[in-house]
């Protein structure tokens, strides 16, 4: 069976295919005659005897077309049009205004005040038919546009709910702040740019006073980078690392992760820092893969950025990542962060940068780790002049108790 | 900023003249241009970076990807004249270890000929 519309009813909006025309005219003879003609043309017709009941009917019935008399007591045709155009619910209604005097100035005024088209009361049967059809056609197109917009809005809402749920899951992967080892406090801040972030960080309890810490940054944005980050963080769980790497050595862990996570077909990859804090030996060992955001703030005031130019994960499968060792002392603070924290432009495009971040943290002096973490985020926000970061921001601070 | 890519054949290779930013927003355009060159059987791709102002993290990934894909086909990728800021960004990810950087085209081509 053919489903294409017949030539006489090219635009059907309602399920029953019958379109509705509202006729608003205080003059009974003219209204009844026009209504009868429209019914013969196959339309469902609603009649209203004045502007006020016309507006009520328009709101109630949402007809495909409204045919309106100019001259009416109280609310006349042009005032009717103005009210319709100011009402968000009604403003897309199609209005055909009728008048007995079709002076060009009057037509211009009617159009200016909100009518879509004009029809002279002296118009021929053919003209009336043509103008009504044209009005209904326009109204059908507008309805389709409205339906499509509504459909998009609904789908967008569903997507956003799903994104929020995924974002909550990602945040549930983050470690709880507090005492992560006897004498070791951890505080963090996490500000994904799109609700769903590609940055992740966590701790791995190796036992016996040894703690693993990492912060990773997936290139790209949104859902795909969040999925890849979650996959890598699953790989970086204690049991999995002991099974597949058999070592708590950061370099060995990144060397294996590099084999497991090649570049994606879009060239996406991870940068990461993996550290190992050994409270018995008072050492901090770390390895990085293309990641530049980590430093040790020694109790002496010295800043030690833990960066080495090397490949991010996935750039070259044969890379061996090397572990570097530092000694630590009570009062030292370790910060792991994503470049999203300091690569924020101000109004002129100048980036905040690592140096200003270092200065900021230095300036906080002996304030608590919680204050420093929150204050650094605030300072980046102050630099860019707004709350919304262009990239994901993650910052984890760790303090060795004095 | 958008990116423009112009292709220019040279003896034993193709130069892609890049203008603009090599970033996430322009990734498809860059991939398409490189893929077109690779499909034609080009064994030496030379990326002229002289007019590239900025490379973001996605851009670095694309450079690594292009280098890997050419290597798989026994080909190679070289780079010409990156601006100092771009050079700095690339050095953080060690891109120059994957893609050798040259100051002029003759030099890039000469290395290719010696290798061949």
Least confident of A181-190, A217-226, A272-281, B6-15: A217-226
- What residue of A is the nearest CA neighbor of B59? A267
Which pTM does this prediction carry?
0.78
Q: Do B68 and A263 touch (CB under 8 A)?
A: yes
| CB contact (8 A) between residue B68 and residue A268 | no
Nearest Cβ partner for B93 among A220, A265, A290: A290
Q: Are B47 and B18 in contact (CB under 8 A)?
A: yes
User: For residue B113, what pLDDT band results from cuts at 50, 70 and 90?
Assistant: low
Q: B53 — contact with chain A (CB < 8 Å)?
A: no
pLDDT at residue number A188: 97
pLDDT in tens, B18-30: 999 999 889 999 9
> A396 has which bridge partners?
A188, A336
pLDDT digits 0-9 by tens, A99-154 = 887 788 888 899 999 999 998 888 888 999 999 999 999 999 999 999 999 999 99
pLDDT band for A3, please (50, 70, 90 cuts): very low
Q: Does B93 touch chain A (CB under 8 A)?
A: yes
Tokens (6 digits) for A266: 């879009």
Q: Is B72 on the interface with A (CB under 8 A)?
A: no
Which residues contact residue B49 at a Cβ distance below 8 angstroms, ignoring those fewer than 6 apart? B18, B79, B80, B81, B82, B83, B86
Identify all chain B residues contacting A269, using CB atoms and an 8 Å cutoff. Answer: 61, 64
CA distance A394 to A257: 21
> Using a CB-CB distance cutoff of 8 angstroms, which residues of chain B are in contact with residue A261?
none
Integer Cα distance of A283 and A210 in angstroms: 10
Tell whether A349 lies on the interface with B, counting CB pairs under 8 A. Answer: no
ipTM of the complex, rounded to two decimals: 0.88
User: Which tokens hold the place of A238?
Assistant: 């204690």
CB atoms within 10 A of CB B45: 22
Supply A254's token pair: 């990144």
Q: Residue B78's closest CA among B19, B31, B13, B30?
A: B13
Which tens digit of pLDDT belongs to each residue from A39-91? 999 999 999 999 999 999 999 999 999 999 999 999 999 999 999 999 999 99
Interface test with B, best of A267, A342, A351, A392 (most B CBs within 10 A): A267
| CA count, 13 A, side-chain hemisphere, A86 | 8
Taking the CA of residue A183 and the nearest CA in chain B, the distance in Å comes to: 34
Counted across chains A and B, CB pairs separated by less than 8 A come out at 60
A315 contacts chain B (CB < 8 A): yes
Is B24 in contact with A269 (Cβ distance < 8 A)? Answer: no
* Higher pLDDT pick, A17 / A354: A354
The count of domains in chain B is: 1
Q: Which of A217, A221, A309 sits opposite B91 (nearest CB)?
A: A309
d(CA A20, CA A16): 11
d(CA A351, CA A354): 9
Q: What pLDDT, on the 0 to 100 scale, is given for residue A8? A: 40
Asked if pLDDT for residue B37 goes beyond 80, the answer is yes
Q: What is the 3-state secondary structure (H, E, C) of chain B?
A: CCEEEEEEEECCEEEEEEEEEECHHHHHHHHHHHHHHHHCCCCEEEEEEEEEEEECHHHHHHHHHHHHHHHHCCCEEEEECCCHHHHHHHHHCCHHHHCCEECCHHHHHHHHHHHC
Asked if B65 lies within 8 A of A309 by C-beta distance, the reply is no
B115 in any annotated domain: no
Whether chain A has a CB inside 8 Å of the CB on B32: the answer is: no
Reading the block at residue A118, the tokens are 């004009």
| Percent share of chain A, pLDDT over 70 | 96
The answer, for B85 touching chain A at a CB cutoff of 8 Å, is no
Report the CATH number of the A20-148 domain.
Answer: 3.40.50.2300
A290 touches chain B (CB under 8 A): yes
Confidence grade of residue B81 (pLDDT, cut at 50, 70, 90): very high
- Domain containing residue B75: 3-108
Sequence ranges of the domains in chain A: 20-148, 173-400
User: Which of these, B63, B59, B52, lies nearest to B99 by C-alpha position?
Assistant: B63
Confidence of residue A1 (pLDDT cuts 50, 70, 90): very low
B contacts of A216 (beta carbons < 8 Å): none
Q: Does A263 touch chain B (CB under 8 A)?
A: yes
Tell me the CA end-to-end span of chain A in Å, nearest whole number: 84
CATH (domain of B86): 3.30.750.24
| Fold that domain A173-400 belongs to in CATH | Phosphatase 2c; domain 1 (3.60.40)
**pLDDT tier at B11, thresholds 50, 70, 90:** confident
Looking at chain B, which residue has its C-alpha nearest residue A290? B93
* Interatomic CA distance for residues B63 and B67, integer angstroms: 6
Contacts of A314 in chain B (CB under 8 A): 64
Task: Give me the residue from B24, B66, B93 closest to A312, CB to CB.
Answer: B93
**Are the CB atoms for A166 and A125 separated by under 8 Å?**
no
Structure tokens at A392: 């994901």
Choose among A254, A279, A92: nearest CA to A181. Answer: A279
What distance lies between CA A243 and its chain's CA centroid? 39
Q: What was the pLDDT predicted at A64?
A: 95
Residue A304, C-beta contacts closer than 8 angstroms, at least 6 positions apart: A295, A296, A297, A298, A326
C-alpha distance across the termini of chain B, in Å: 38
3-state secondary structure chain A: CCCCCCCCCCCCCCCCCCCEEEEECCCHHHHHHHHHHHHHCCCEEEEECCHHHHHHHHHHHCCCEEEEECCCCCCCHHHHHHHHHHCCCCCCCCEEEEECCCCHHHHHHHHHCCCCEEEECCCCHHHHHHHHHHHHHHHHHHHHHHHHHHHHHHHHHHHHHHHHHHHHHHHHCCCCCEEEECCEEEEEEEECCCCCCCEEEEEEEEECCEEEEEEEEECCCHHHHHHHHHHHHHHCCHHHHHHHCCCCCHHHHHHHHHHHCCCCCCCCCEEEEEEEEECCCCEEEEEEECCCCEEEECCCCCEEECCCCCCCECCCCCCCCCCEEEECCCCCEEEEECHHHCCCECCCCCECHHHHHHHHHHHCCCCCHHHHHHHHHHHHHHHHCCCCCCCCEEEEEEEECC
Interchain pair B94, A263: CB under 8 A:
no
Q: Which residues of A touch B91 (CB under 8 A)?
A: 309
Structure tokens at A43: 């339309």
Pair A30, A18: CB distance under 8 Å? no
Residues from chain A that touch B62, judged by Cβ atoms under 8 A, are 267
């Amino acid at each position: 069976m053919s489903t294409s519309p017949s030539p006489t009813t090219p635009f059907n909006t309602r399920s029953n295919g019958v379109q509705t025309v509202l006729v608003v005219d205080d003059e009974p003879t003219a209204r009844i005659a026009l209504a009868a003609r429209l019914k013969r043309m196959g339309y469902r017709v609603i009649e209203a005897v004045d502007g006020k009941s016309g507006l009520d009917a328009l709101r109630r019935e949402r007809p495909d077309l409204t045919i309106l008399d100019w001259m009416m007591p109280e609310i006349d045709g042009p005032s009717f049009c103005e009210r319709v155009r100011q009402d968000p619910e009604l403003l897309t209604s199609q209005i055909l205004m009728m008048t007995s005097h079709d002076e060009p100035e009057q037509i211009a005024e009617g159009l200016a005040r909100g009518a879509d088209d004009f029809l002279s009361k002296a118009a021929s049967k053919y003209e009336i038919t043509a103008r009504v059809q044209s009005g209904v056609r326009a109204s059908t197109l507008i309805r389709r546009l409205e339906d499509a917009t509504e459909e998009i809005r609904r789908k967008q809402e569903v997507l956003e709910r799903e994104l929020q749920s995924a974002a909550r899951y990602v945040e549930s992967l983050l470690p709880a702040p507090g005492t992560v080892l006897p004498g070791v406090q951890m505080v963090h801040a996490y500000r994904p740019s799109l609700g769903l972030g590609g940055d992740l960080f966590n701790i791995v309890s190796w036992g016996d006073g040894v703690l693993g810490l990492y912060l990773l940054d997936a290139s790209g944005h949104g859902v795909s980078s969040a999925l890849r980050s979650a996959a890598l963080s699953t790989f970086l769980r204690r049991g999995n690392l002991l099974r597949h790497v058999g070592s708590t050595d950061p370099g060995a862990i990144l060397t294996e992760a590099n084999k497991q996570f090649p570049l994606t077909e879009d060239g996406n990859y991870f940068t990461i820092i993996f550290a190992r804090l050994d409270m018995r030996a008072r050492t901090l060992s770390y390895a990085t893969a293309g990641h530049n955001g980590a430093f040790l703030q020694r109790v002496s005031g010295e800043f030690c950025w833990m960066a080495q130019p090397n490949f991010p994960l996935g750039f070259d499968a044969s890379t061996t990542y090397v572990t570097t060792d530092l000694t630590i002392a009570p009062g030292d603070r370790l910060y792991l962060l994503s470049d999203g924290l300091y690569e924020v432009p101000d109004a002129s495009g100048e980036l905040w940068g690592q140096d200003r971040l270092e200065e900021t943290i230095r300036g906080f002096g002996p304030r608590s780790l919680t204050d420093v973490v929150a204050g650094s985020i605030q300072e980046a926000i102050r630099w860019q002049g707004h709350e919304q970061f262009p990239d994901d921001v993650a910052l984890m601070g760790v303090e060795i108790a004095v | 900023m958008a990116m423009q890519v112009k292709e220019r054949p040279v003896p034993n290779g193709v130069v892609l003249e890049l203008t603009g930013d090599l970033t996430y927003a322009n990734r498809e355009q860059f991939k398409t241009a490189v893929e077109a060159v690779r499909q034609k059987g080009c064994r030496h791709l030379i990326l002229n970076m002289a007019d590239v102002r900025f490379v973001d993290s996605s851009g670095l990934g694309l450079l690594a990807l292009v280098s890997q894909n050419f290597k798989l086909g026994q080909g190679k990728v070289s780079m010409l004249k990156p601006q100092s800021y771009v050079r700095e960004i690339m050095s953080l990810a060690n891109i120059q270890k994957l893609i050798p950087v040259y100051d002029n085209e003759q030099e890039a081509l000469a290395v290719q000929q010696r290798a061949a």
